[in-house]
Every structure is written in structure tokens, then in C-alpha cells.
Amino acid sequence: MFDAEMFMFWLIASLTGLCAIATVITQNIVRSATWLLFTLAGTSSIFFLLGADFVGAIQLLIYVGGTMVLVVFGVMLTAQGPFVNMRTSGAEWAISIVAGLMLLGVLCFGLTSFQNLPTGEALAKAKDAHTKQRKANDPKTSTHASTIGQALSGVGYGPIYKRMPPLPPTKDAKGNLVTLPGVPRETERIHYLLPFEIVSVHLLVVLIGAAYLARAKRRRGGKA
């Protein structure tokens, strides 16, 4: 049977991998940046294929749109000629490629020894449930942008994890046991408000730091 998802995955994955390899082996930095652009776009396609629409869109916006423009501007501002080659010697290449292949081997070996994953029928069931949730558009369980927004804004998502225990029955004025309606139950959901705030402050610090570091202070041509 022709499996469209399988076909798309292998197509996109092989293109992305080839672009990544081309990024490494190109000596010209502008071409390297262009191959990186294709790699990033391929990664976002992988995200779309996985069903993570929001993350894929953000990947396109921030990485492909923002970071790549930054890198290309950096290349433009620091180029000493139109085609600058800073060659790496053959011995360094050999050592790096051997070390890289060994690293890849270790990583793949680690993947095969990773046990705690759903496989076979359990995996199919999980994927099925996931697809159903996505189709049902249930904001509590689906991985929509709204769910991510709830998780980041502190509203929280998913089931309510902690409840205050119900109040014990108490005696009223006549001595009867009554169950008071009690205080509203305290709810607590998983949310990521604190990391979100930390990232906000981090971005502010990055903004100030980058502006301070790259301020216009021309001291070209060696010392002062």
C-alpha cells in the first residue's frame, strides 16, 4: 500500500539531511548559510508532518525569517571579499569526520537501546488517539496553539491535578452533622508561566547586550 506519510517523511528527511551535510562540507560561508536555510525549512516541514503546526510556523517565522537574515547580515558585514575561503586542512577534516561518525554511531546505538517507548500496537493506538484529538479540536487535550498559549500564560492545561480535600463534616447549632459546601477547591494545572517570564527577561537582556556589544564604535585596522 502506498503510504503518503511514509513517502513524505523519507522525501523531506533525506532532503533535510543532505542539506545539513552540504552545510558542513561547503567551504564558502554564503553557500553554507543558504544550505542552512534549506535545512531549517526542511525541519519546519518535518514539524508540519508531525502535526505540530504551531511550532512549524514559528520555526519558519523566527528561524528562517529572523535568524537567517541575521546570519546573512553578519556574513555581509564581515566579508573581506566576495568569496572568502578559510580552508580547513585535510587532516582536520579527517579527524572531524571520524569523530562525527563515531558520535553518530553512539547516538544511534543509544536510540536502539532506548526501551521506554510505545512501539507496535501501543504506538499505533497512541497515534490514533492523537489524531482523534486533533480532529475533535478539544482545547483541553489537543495540541493546538490555544493549548500552548494556555500553558504559557499560566492558565494551565490538561486535567486538574491537585484539589483541596473536602472539608470534614461539622456539627451545626442543632448538633446535626452537615457537610459544608466549603471553600472553593483550589485547582492547579500544569503551566509554564515562570519559564515564559524567564525567557522574556532573557530576551530583554539579549537585546540590551547585543546592542551594547555591536554599538557603532569604529576601531578597524588593528589596535585602536
Partner 1 sequence: MSEGVALYPYLVLGALLFTCGVICMATKRNAIGVLIGVELVLNGSNINFVAFSQYNPDFQVEGMIFALFVIVMAAGEAAVALAIVLNFYNNHSTVDVDSAEELKG
- Per CB under 8 A, contacts with partner 1 among 5-44 are 5-6, 9-10, 13, 16-17, 20-21, 23-24, 29, 32-33, 36, 39-40, 43
Return all residues near 75 (Cβ < 8 A) that are at least 6 apart. Answer: 29, 30, 33
Binding mask 124-163 for partner 1 (x = CB under 8 A): x-xx-xx----------x-x---xx--xx----xx-----
Terminal Cα-to-Cα distance of the chain (whole angstroms): 69
User: Can residue 111 be called a binding residue for partner 1 (CB under 8 A)?
Assistant: yes
User: Can residue 108 be called a binding residue for partner 1 (CB under 8 A)?
Assistant: yes
Q: What is the DSSP string of 109-146?
A: HHHHT---S--HHHHHHHHHHHHHHHHHT-TTTS--HH
Residue choice 155, 160, 164, 214 for contact with partner 1 (CB under 8 A): 214
> How deeply is 157 buried, as exposed, middle or buried, from its count of CB atoms within 10 A (0-12, 13-18, 19+)?
buried
* Closer residue to partner 1 in complex, CB, 162/174: 162
Residue choice 11, 104, 160, 164 for contact with partner 1 (CB under 8 A): 104
Integer angstrom CA distances of residue 102 from 77, 90, 105, 178, 191 = 36, 18, 5, 70, 39
Residue choice 139, 154, 182, 209 for contact with partner 1 (CB under 8 A): 209
* Closer residue to partner 1 in complex, CB, 7/167: 7
Residue 65 to residue 53: CA distance in whole angstroms: 17
User: Can residue 97 be called a binding residue for partner 1 (CB under 8 A)?
Assistant: yes
Q: Residue written as cell 566579508?
A: 79
Residue ranges of alpha helices (H) inside 59-185 are: 68-78, 90-112, 120-136, 145-153
Minimum separation from the CB atom of position 137 to partner 1 (A): 15
Q: Which stretch binds partner 1 (CB under 8 A): 94-102, 159-167, 168-176, 179-187?
A: 94-102
* Closer residue to partner 1 in complex, CB, 128/169: 128
- Extract the C-alpha cell encoding 139: 482545547
Q: Which of 1, 5, 17 is nearest to 50 (CA)?
A: 5
* Closer residue to partner 1 in complex, CB, 31/185: 31
User: Can residue 203 be called a binding residue for partner 1 (CB under 8 A)?
Assistant: yes
